[in-house]
């Protein structure tokens, strides 16, 4: 039976950092329904209700998510994995709030080549980026080889010479038109939460220095960095974005932050953003559901450090067994 709490659907329940987001939303008073393609995903067992769903690229994904929304009385969806971001927008026609930038912005950001070209043409500093079929086009080694469409560090290689570049291209597994070569920027990396909603006004920017990255950030620190903030705001304006962005930059030897990727969603380190003082998920949920005009304040603590590690949550065996038995493909 559903409670009188507002029901929110969170996808990618097994992704890095999602468990913390689920627990944070429950502590904030929301009823959280979690979804993932893998029944072993830990977040499925930490939510109020959970479902195993098709892959985001499956034609069955949107119908199944819509069915879950109807069954559970879902008011808003927090999608957290790139494969779902465009597809999930079909649910907006059914009165469900989608906690993303609008669909065309999502598609633009997911195409890493056209994104870099747009930002470069608009004066936002970026690394040189080319299709792999053009070679490294005069770029010095090392260079980055990665999928034109992809997420996290999957399929990403650092090539230090021509032999490694050839090997990376051979191992990419993608067609040449789906692989890009990008200039490697030496310098500290920042993963910034850029918070904005439908009026397209940037409410807050929280840069987080990535101290150690293994696929996702393992250790990160909130840092006030005016130059990073300025570049993030400019990138958001160029995109005419109207939803959460995760802007990734490296600061080069001249002190210029260069944007090398933008994720059109909440980042895996949104929990660090919240710990520093900007609850971007809770804040945008409130604006999406209440539309009361209240915005977040760009006031947060510098130097808050995230140490990502495995943690244990303890529940009664009967609750765990019941959840395990109830996990199923919706419908």
Helices in 172-294 by DSSP H: which ranges? 226-239, 270-276, 280-290
Digit-coded pLDDT (tens) for 132-183: 888 777 889 999 999 998 766 677 889 999 898 888 888 766 676 789 999 9
How many C-beta atoms lie closer than 10 Å to residue 307's C-beta? 10
Phi first, then psi, for residue 177 (nearest 5°) are -70, -5
Digit-coded pLDDT (tens) for 241-292: 999 999 999 999 999 999 999 999 999 899 999 999 999 999 999 999 986 6
Helices in 111-161 by DSSP H: which ranges? 112-121
Domain boundaries along the sequence of the chain: 7-99+311-326, 128-183, 186-307
Confidence band of 293 (pLDDT split at 50, 70, 90): low
Largest CA distance in the chain: 62
CATH class of 128-183: alpha beta
What's the pLDDT score for residue 216?
66
**Strands (DSSP E) found in 11-150:** 31-36, 49-52, 74-78, 97-98, 129-131, 143-147
How many C-beta atoms lie closer than 10 Å to residue 91's C-beta? 20
Confidence band of 1 (pLDDT split at 50, 70, 90): very low
Q: Which of 265, 223, 225 is nearest to 246 (CA)?
A: 265
At 125, is the secondary structure helix, strand, or coil? Answer: coil
What kind of fold does domain 7-99+311-326 have according to CATH?
Rossmann fold (3.40.50)
| Distance between CA atoms of residues 33 and 31, nearest Å | 7
For the segment 76-85, the average pLDDT, to the nearest whole number, is: 95
* CATH number at 186-307: 3.30.470.20
| Distance between CA atoms of residues 24 and 271, nearest Å | 8
State the residue for tokens 């990734």: 248
What's the pLDDT score for residue 221?
96
Residue 70 zone, left/alpha/beta (φ > 0; ψ -120 to 50; rest)? alpha
Judge whether residue 327 has pLDDT over 70. yes
Digit-coded pLDDT (tens) for 9-20: 999 999 988 999
Mean pLDDT, all residues of the chain? 91
Query: The tokens of 86 are what?
Result: 């465009």
Half-sphere exposure of 95 (CA within 13 A, CB side): 5
- The lowest-confidence range among 53-62, 70-79, 215-224, 321-330 is 321-330
| Distance between CA atoms of residues 96 and 77, nearest Å | 7
Judge whether residue 50 has pLDDT over 80. yes
Q: Which of 287, 258, 246 is nearest to 81 (CA)?
A: 246
For the segment 201-230, the average pLDDT, to the nearest whole number, is: 91
For the segment 59-65, the average pLDDT, to the nearest whole number, is: 95
What's the pLDDT score for residue 153?
63
What's the pLDDT score for residue 313?
77
């Amino acid at each position: 039976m559903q409670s009188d709490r507002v029901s929110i659907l969170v996808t990618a329940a097994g992704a890095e950092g999602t468990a913390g987001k689920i627990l944070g939303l429950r502590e904030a008073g929301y009823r959280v329904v979690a979804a993932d393609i893998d029944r072993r995903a830990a977040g499925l067992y930490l939510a109020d209700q959970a479902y195993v769903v098709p892959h985001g690229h499956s034609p069955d994904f949107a119908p199944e998510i819509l069915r879950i929304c109807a069954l559970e009385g879902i008011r808003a969806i927090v999608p957290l994995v790139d494969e779902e971001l465009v597809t999930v927008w079909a649910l907006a026609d059914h009165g469900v709030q989608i906690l993303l930038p609008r669909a065309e912005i999502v598609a633009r950001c997911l195409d890493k080549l056209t994104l870099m070209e747009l930002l470069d043409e608009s004066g936002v500093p970026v690394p040189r980026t080319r299709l792999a079929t053009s070679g490294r086009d005069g770029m010095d080694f090392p260079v980055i080889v990665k999928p034109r469409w992809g997420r996290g560090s999957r399929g990403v290689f650092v090539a230090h010479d021509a032999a490694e570049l050839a090997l990376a291209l051979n191992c990419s597994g993608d067609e040449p038109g789906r692989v890009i070569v990008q200039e490697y920027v030496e310098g500290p990396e920042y993963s910034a939460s850029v918070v904005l909603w439908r009026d397209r006004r940037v409410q807050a920017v929280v840069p987080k220095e990535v101290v150690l990255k293994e696929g996702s950030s393992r250790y990160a620190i909130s840092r006030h960095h005016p130059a990073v903030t300025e570049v993030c705001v400019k990138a958001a304006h160029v995109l005419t974005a109207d939803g959460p962005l995760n802007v990734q930059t490296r600061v080069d030897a001249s002190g210029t932050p260069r944007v090398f990727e933008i994720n059109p969603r909440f980042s895996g380190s949104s929990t660090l953003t919240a710990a520093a003082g900007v609850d971007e998920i809770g804040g945008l949920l409130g604006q999406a559901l209440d539309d009361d005009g209240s915005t977040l304040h760009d006031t947060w603590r510098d130097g808050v450090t995230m140490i990502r590690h495995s943690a244990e949550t303890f529940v009664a065996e009967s609750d765990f067994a019941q959840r395990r038995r109830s996990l199923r493909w919706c419908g």
